[in-house]
Each structure stands twice: as C-alpha cells, then as structure tokens.
A and B are shown apart, each in its own frame.
Chain A
Amino acid sequence: METGELIVRLVLIVVIFLISLVIAMYSTYAERKIAAFFQDRVGPNRAGPAGILQPLADGAKMFLKEEIIPTNSSKFLFIVGPSLAIMTACIGSAVIPWGQQIQIGSKLYDLQVTDINVGLLYIFGVVSLGVYGIMIGGWASNNKYSLLGAIRAASQNISYEIAMGLSIIALLMVTNTLSLKEIAAQQHGWHWNILRQPFGFILFIVCAFAETNRTPFDLPECETELVGGYHTEYSSMKLGFYLFAEYINMFVSGAVMATLYWGSYNYPGMDWVAGHTGPVIAPLIGTVVLFAKIFLFIFFFMWVRWTIPRFRYDQLMDLGWKGLIPLAIANIIGTGLWITFFK
C-alpha cells in the first residue's frame, strides 16, 4: 500500500472514531431531550444554550467521580469488562462504507477503512463478541444482581443472534455477496434492499434492538428487578464506558441497517447531482445522506424506548425462539422461491 492511501486510511480511522464518540456523546443529550419531549418536560437546559454542553458536563462528572472496585471482585476482570464493551462497540464500524470513492488530487480513494470480502460476517462476529464485556463485568462484580443481569444479557444475545443471522442469510441470497462495499454499490439510486427484503428488515431491526439491549429488550439492566443490572457495582468512568458502549452500538447498528437495507449512501437522483457537482462534492453529499439515515435510526431507537414498556423475560425468550426464528426461516424459504420462480 502506498503512502498516500495509507495516510487517507489513517485519517479516515481517526475521523470515524471521533465521529462515533461525538455521536455517542450527543446521543445521550438527544435521548434526554427526546424523553423530555415525549413526557412534556423541558429536559436538560442549564449547561450552555438549550443545554448543549450537558454531555461535556456529564463526561467531566464521570471522570471526576470516585472509582470503587468492590473488595471481593476479581479486580483484573472487573476492569476488563467495560474495556471490552467499549472496544467491541468501536471496532464494528471498520467495514462500513461511508461513501462512494472520493477524488483527492487525481486519485480515487475509498471512504471505507477496509473492504474485507466477509465484511457482513465480520459485523456479525463483532456483535456476538459484544456480550463478553457485559458477562465478564457482571460476573467479576461478585454481586447477585450483576450476575443475573449478565446472564440475562448472554441468553438474550445468543437467542436473537440466531434470528439475526437467519435474516442476514435471506439478504445474502438477494445480494450474492458478503462485501459491504458491493452491497452498498448494488443499491444505486432507489434500488434499496428494503424493497426486496422488507420482511427481513423487520426481523433484523427487532434483533438489533435486542442486541443493543435497548427497550423493550433492556432486561439486563431492568432496575425494578435488578437494581442496575450488570453495571450495579460500577462507578465513575467504568460505568460511563458501559453506557457509552450502548450508544456507540446504537450508532453502528444504525449504520449497518442503513447500509444493508436502506441504500447506504445512495438516494434517488444521485446521478443528476453527481453530474452537477463533480467527483469531490457528490460523494460527500452521499455521506451526508448516509448520516441522515443513521440519525433517523437513532431517533427511532429512542422513539421506541420512550413509547413501549419492557417485556417480561419469558415473553422475550418466547418472541426470540418461537416467533422470530420460524419467521426468519420462512423468510429464507420465501426468498428462495422468489429467486427461483421470478428471476
């Protein structure tokens, strides 16, 4: 790899990292503002105009709080838990194509950190690894509530991973590739995968809610039963990392859903725009479109959180095993029949 490309990659990695952290930070602010709107309150409005500096104040508070490690916990694993949680949240964005090729100078560069040919499976792998942070942290706390939260998280993630994998298989049958770059390029203009896999998308988004531990699937941290769930014993920035990881996960899963089903950086009329703006501005407009889609997904996550109450645990398992998995298998069979007879 030549130096120019290496520098572009490096810049891209740093930028994506910063963007995901800033988005995660301001997601906390958005969450509170949206919650306030839904409950007819004002929400945070003290730090800066309209409370815009609230996330910074929260961050400073998190860093300055006293750090407590329980006496009877396994200290090393207690620290490994939140570190793993935030690490797995951050590495998921590596294979997402953030835009078309952009022209800098006379060369074309990909707006993607790396295009491995099993990109889709890589995302799936990272998602399945995410549960370790919660499990290790919950177990290392040496607290019954934490352990129960961790166990809930583990069984929930495993159950919904299956349905998620099956819904991805149906998508694969349509796209014929595992590379996210190709999947994004295939959806040029308005040929979005949602039109070919509407049912698969519904399954996928339900599973995404479960994998990110968002309401109505936030039983691992159900405070009426488990105090704080898996992060009961955590304080200071280690707690902050757990909360932060949840928001980064939301951002990454929003990006994945936008890329897989909602046309990624494509939008109707993009060829016309590209013809009028040139090879530098047009890919950037595509990136803006992608981020708009991601923000809509993040808003959807929050919208659901403040609308629907959480499930009971047995209902959650019933939905996963008896509802989503058979439906996902039916979706695969349906897609197979459609491909065989209508294409």
Chain B
Amino acid sequence: MSIFYFIAFLSILFAVLVISAKNPVHSILYLVLTFFTFTIQYILLNAQFVAIVNFIVYMGAILVLFLYTLMLINLNKNSEPMKTNLVKIAAVLGGGCLLVVVVAALKATGASDPVLFKDPNLGLVKNLGKVLFDEFLLPFEISSLLLLSAMVGAVLLATKDTKTA
C-alpha cells in the first residue's frame, strides 16, 4: 500500500508540474513521467496488458506526436495566444463537470463491488480478451466505431483546404 501512495504522490506531483512548467516541451516531458507512474499503478493492480498498452500507446505514440508538434511550431511566450474570459469560464465549467462525473463514477464503483476483486487475474491478456470479446463485445465494438469516425473526421478536416482551392 505504501508503494501505491508513493507512486500516487509522484503522479500528482508530475501532473502539477505539467501545468506549471513554463516551457511547453518541459511540460510534455512531465506528462510522459505522469503516464509512466500510471503504468506502474497498473502493474501494481496486476493489470499487465493495460499497463503495457498505456506504455505503448500513450508514452510511445501519442506523447511522441505531441512533442513532435511542439518542437515544430516552436511555442514561446510572445506567440502564445491570449485567452479571453469566456474561454476561461468555459474551461472551469468543463473541468467542474469532469470532476462531478469522476466522483460519481468512483461512488458507483464503490457501491457495486468491482469485478477486480472477484478475479485478481482479470488484467492478464487471456482473461481480459475473454471478457472484452464476450461479455462487453457491444461497448467494445461501439468504441472502435467511435475511433474510426474520429479518424475519418481528422482526415476530412486535413484535406478540406486542398479541395476548395
């Protein structure tokens, strides 16, 4: 349990550093460390597959792309766009809504006896695959559709200009 608290402390520390770092590249690097602490948490939960996928997808791909874009556009203080009050209010509202949902989700799982405690080996690839493609097949397929539509949308947005020109 003490390992959990230490890692959780590190997660929060790095997460705070992400938003307080002056240099955007540093803040992405702190985000990498934050995700790394998440990976450790998953391993502590014996969820090896989720841990390694978090490692590959978030640390290995998404954040590399983030870093890549940031290095290309060379952000600094002068070129940073000023945020209007409306944007700030919207951000606070959005963050508040997320907090409510997270708290509600935590309360709900607390009440409903999470699956994890029934089977401590649920996180292993074999068991996870069986659950995903059997019990939770519909949500799984729907989320893949969601990702596909997001991808198609991104491609559409990226090619929009060349068609009209």
- A→B interface (CB under 8 Å): 77, 116-118, 121-122, 124-125, 127-129, 131-132, 135-136, 139, 147, 150-151, 154-155, 157-158, 161, 178
Contact = CB atoms under 8 A, between A and B. Distances in A.
B52 A122 contact: yes
Interface string B30-71: 001000000000000000110011011001110011011001
Chain A to chain B: the 5 pairs with minimum beta-carbon distance, closest first: A128-B60, A125-B55, A121-B52, A154-B68, A125-B56
Contacts of A157: 64
Question: Does more than half of chain A's interface fall in helix, strand or loop, or is it mixed?
Answer: helix
A178 B125 contact: yes
Interface of B: 25, 29, 32, 48-49, 52-53, 55-56, 59-61, 64-65, 67-68, 71-72, 124-125
16 contacts: A117-B125, A118-B49, A121-B52, A125-B56, A125-B60, A127-B60, A128-B55, A128-B64, A129-B59, A131-B60, A132-B32, A147-B71, A151-B68, A158-B64, A161-B60, A161-B61
Residue in A77, A125, A158 whose Cβ sees the most chain B Cβ within 10 Å = A125
B56 A132 contact: no
Contacts, number: 59
B56 A121 contact: yes
Contacts of A129: 55, 59-60
Contacts of B60: 125, 127-129, 131, 161
Contacts of A151: 68, 71-72
Nearest to B59: A129
B48 A117 contact: yes
Contact of A132 (B49, B64, B65): B64
B17 to A, nearest CB: 14
Contacts of B53: 121
